[in-house]
């Protein structure tokens, strides 16, 4: 299971601290999803060796207009393992689900963003994962939290119906906001998700990272075509 | 009142919980208990939080780190876990919280899951992000004091000045 984090300077803790905490809590990996305007400097290999946890380089593209978003997706696609789009407005939600190059549409229901059957169908077609963002449930209270819960339920019902791909995250911005997978599963159960649903959503980050690393690797040429092991001609 | 015969007494489970916050924050037992009950009530509702109980039995806190034992009725440990996860602030201090384990007795919970991490923290000057800062170091991790807030870091992120 993986957690997708905002590290310093986007959040308050460095990648290493978040990775150490996540490893301690039983995660198998962290995805660094800093916004493109606040990128973190870190050495994934060194953190992996030190704390025994996978560190995935990702990016979350945050912009208001489709053109710059499109450019950013093109730029980061080749260098980052996971490319997410900061959702939360109808325009960006629409943009993200229609782009096969985008891996994850982050928190589509945040702010005044919304999701409907058309967008979810497009997401299924393009393989864009919709994110269930639990941070609002964990860190808000009162009426705002109720609204967050309502939006999570709406998203869950549509995603269930179309069997759309999804990821789950608590979106921590510091090591204090990380919650262990068991806690997240217990929380999900209270909210009407099943344990398997949450576990699957947390594991999906890892599967996504593995798939994209494979695609980025040198042996991969195009789907179904790979460089095999051939005898060297002498 | 005469106490209940053994088979009618509630069965308890004890959650061993670890707490963490920034170095200059303090968390008291009473405020932890209050916030925990609030969290339970907000997430589980009155009936759910009454079932879960969520009484703090043991509590210790020092140097930005703490440990607690929370009593929960048997069979309600998962809702209690969920309520604990929803604790994000105590008296304005952000807290990291994790259930280390569950036992049937307080003693077993303490012995198996809460090792007294009695490591003292120390203040040192470090170089973090090309600037010299003061950091509170403990056990391979450190909280670096920035202009207004702290940044959580580890030994990989800074050099001792």
Least confident among A4-18, A118-132, B110-124: B110-124
List the domain boundaries for chain B: 11-113, 122-160
Predicted pLDDT of residue A41: 86
Asked whether residue B1 carries a pLDDT value surpassing 90, the answer given is: no
| Residue B133 phi, psi dihedral angles, 5° rounding | -135, 170
Does domain B11-113 correspond to CATH entry 3.30.70.3250? yes
- Hey, is the C-beta of A17 within 8 angstroms of any chain B C-beta? yes
- Hey, is the C-beta of A46 within 8 angstroms of any chain B C-beta? yes
Whether B88 and A177 lie within 8 Å, measured CB to CB:
yes
Average pLDDT taken over every residue of chain A: 90
3-state secondary structure of A113: coil
Closest in B21, B98, B156 to A16, CB measured: B156
Tell me, yes or no, whether A66 lies in a domain: yes
Average pLDDT taken over every residue of chain B: 90
Predicted pLDDT of residue B158: 84
Whether B85 and A12 lie within 8 Å, measured CB to CB:
no
Predicted pLDDT of residue B118: 59
Whether A175 and B152 lie within 8 Å, measured CB to CB:
yes
Predicted pLDDT of residue A216: 85
Non-local (6+) Cβ contacts of B59 within 8 A are: B29, B32, B33, B66, B67, B68, B69
Mutation site for A-interface testing, chosen from B15, B90, B126, B156 by largest number of A Cβ within 10 Å: B156
Alpha-carbon dihedral of residues A175, A180, A185, A190, nearest 10 degrees?
Answer: -60
Asked whether residue A208 carries a pLDDT value surpassing 80, the answer given is: yes
Q: How far apart are CA B84 and CA B71, in angstroms?
A: 12
Asked whether residue A167 carries a pLDDT value surpassing 70, the answer given is: yes
Domain count, chain A: 1
Average pLDDT over residues B2-12: 92
Predicted pLDDT of residue A132: 94
Mutation site for A-interface testing, chosen from B128, B151, B152 by largest number of A Cβ within 10 Å: B152
Is the ipTM, as predicted for this complex, more than 0.85?
yes
Predicted pLDDT of residue B98: 93
Average pLDDT over residues B15-35: 93
pLDDT band at A106 (very low <50, low <70, confident <90, very high): very high
For residue B45, give the chain A residue with the closest CA: A190
Number of A–B residue contacts, CB under 8 Å: 90
pLDDT band at A36 (very low <50, low <70, confident <90, very high): confident
Predicted pLDDT of residue B116: 63
Whether B152 and A17 lie within 8 Å, measured CB to CB:
yes
Can you give the CATH number for the domain in which A198 is found? Answer: 3.20.20.140
Average pLDDT over residues A175-181: 94
Closest in B78, B88, B150 to A139, CB measured: B88
Closest CA to A92 of A81, A107, A75: A107
* Contact residues on chain B for A14, CB-CB shorter than 8 A: 151-154, 156-157
Domain that includes residue A15, residue range = 2-217
Closest in A8, A139, A182 to B81, CB measured: A182
Predicted pLDDT of residue B132: 87
How far is B35 from chain A, CA to nearest CA, in Å?
Answer: 12
Tell me, yes or no, whether A222 lies in a domain: no
Whether B96 and A177 lie within 8 Å, measured CB to CB:
yes
For residue B89, give the chain A residue with the closest CA: A139
Predicted pLDDT of residue A144: 92
Q: How far apart are CA A142 and CA B86, in angstroms?
A: 13
Predicted pLDDT of residue B10: 92
Q: How far apart are CA A197 and CA A190, in angstroms?
A: 13
Tell me, yes or no, whether A51 lies in a domain: yes
pLDDT band at A218 (very low <50, low <70, confident <90, very high): confident
Predicted pLDDT of residue A228: 74
The pTM is what?
0.91
How far is A197 from chain B, CA to nearest CA, in Å?
Answer: 16
Share of chain A above pLDDT 70, in %: 98
Tell me, yes or no, whether A230 lies in a domain: no
- Hey, is the C-beta of A52 within 8 angstroms of any chain B C-beta? no
Share of chain A above pLDDT 90, in %: 71
Tell me, yes or no, whether A226 lies in a domain: no
Average pLDDT over residues A191-197: 93
Asked whether residue A234 carries a pLDDT value surpassing 80, the answer given is: no
Structure tokens at A8: 């310093």
Asked whether residue B32 carries a pLDDT value surpassing 70, the answer given is: yes
Whether A16 and B94 lie within 8 Å, measured CB to CB:
no
Whether A145 and B21 lie within 8 Å, measured CB to CB:
no
How far is A145 from chain B, CA to nearest CA, in Å?
Answer: 10
CB B89 within 8 A of CB B39: no
- Hey, is the C-beta of A6 within 8 angstroms of any chain B C-beta? no
Average pLDDT over residues A183-204: 94
Q: What is the pLDDT of residues B105-144, one digit of tens each?
A: 999 999 999 876 656 778 888 888 888 888 888 878 888 8
Q: Residues A160-181, buried b or exposed e (16+ Cβ, 10 A)?
A: eeeebbbbbbbbbbbbbbbbbb
Asked whether residue B9 carries a pLDDT value surpassing 70, the answer given is: yes
Predicted pLDDT of residue B45: 93
């Amino acid at each position: 299971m993986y957690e997708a984090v905002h590290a310093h300077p986007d959040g308050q803790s460095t990648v290493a601290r978040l990775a150490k905490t996540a490893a301690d809590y039983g995660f198998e990996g962290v995805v660094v999803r800093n916004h493109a305007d606040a990128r973190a400097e870190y050495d994934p290999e060194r953190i992996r060796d030190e704390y025994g946890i996978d560190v995935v380089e990702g990016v979350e593209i945050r912009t208001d207009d489709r053109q710059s978003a499109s450019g950013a997706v093109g730029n980061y696609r080749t260098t980052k393992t996971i490319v997410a789009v900061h959702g939360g407005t109808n325009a960006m939600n629409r943009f993200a689900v229609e782009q096969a190059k985008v891996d994850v549409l982050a928190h589509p229901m945040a702010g005044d963003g919304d999701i409907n059957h058309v967008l979810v169908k497009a997401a299924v077609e393009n393989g864009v994962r919709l994110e269930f963002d639990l941070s609002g449930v964990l860190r808000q209270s009162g009426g705002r939290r109720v609204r967050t819960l309502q939006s999570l339920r709406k998203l869950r019902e549509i995603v269930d119906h179309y069997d759309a791909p999804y990821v789950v995250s608590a979106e921590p911005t510091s090591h204090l906001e990380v919650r262990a997978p068991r806690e997240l599963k217990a929380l999900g159960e209270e909210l009407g998700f099943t344990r398997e649903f949450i576990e699957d959503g947390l594991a999906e980050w890892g599967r996504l990272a593995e798939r994209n690393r494979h695609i980025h690797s040198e042996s991969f040429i195009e789907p179904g075509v790979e460089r095999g092991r051939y005898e060297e001609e002498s | 009142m005469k106490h209940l015969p053994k088979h009618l007494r509630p069965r308890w489970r004890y959650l061993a919980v670890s707490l963490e916050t920034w170095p200059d924050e303090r968390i008291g037992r009473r405020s932890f208990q209050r916030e925990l009950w609030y969290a339970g009530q907000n997430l589980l509702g009155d009936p759910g939080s009454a079932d879960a109980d969520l009484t703090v039995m043991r509590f210790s806190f020092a140097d930005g780190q703490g440990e607690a034992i929370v009593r929960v009725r048997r069979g309600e440990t998962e809702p209690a876990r969920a309520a604990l996860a929803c604790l994000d602030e105590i008296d304005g201090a952000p807290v990291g919280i994790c259930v280390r384990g569950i036992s049937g007795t307080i003693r077993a919970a303490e012995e198996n899951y809460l090792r007294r991490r009695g490591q003292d923290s120390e203040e040192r000057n470090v170089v973090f992000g090309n600037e010299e800062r003061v950091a509170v170091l403990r056990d391979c991790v450190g909280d670096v004091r920035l202009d207004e807030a702290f940044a959580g870091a580890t030994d990989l992120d800074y050099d001792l000045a």
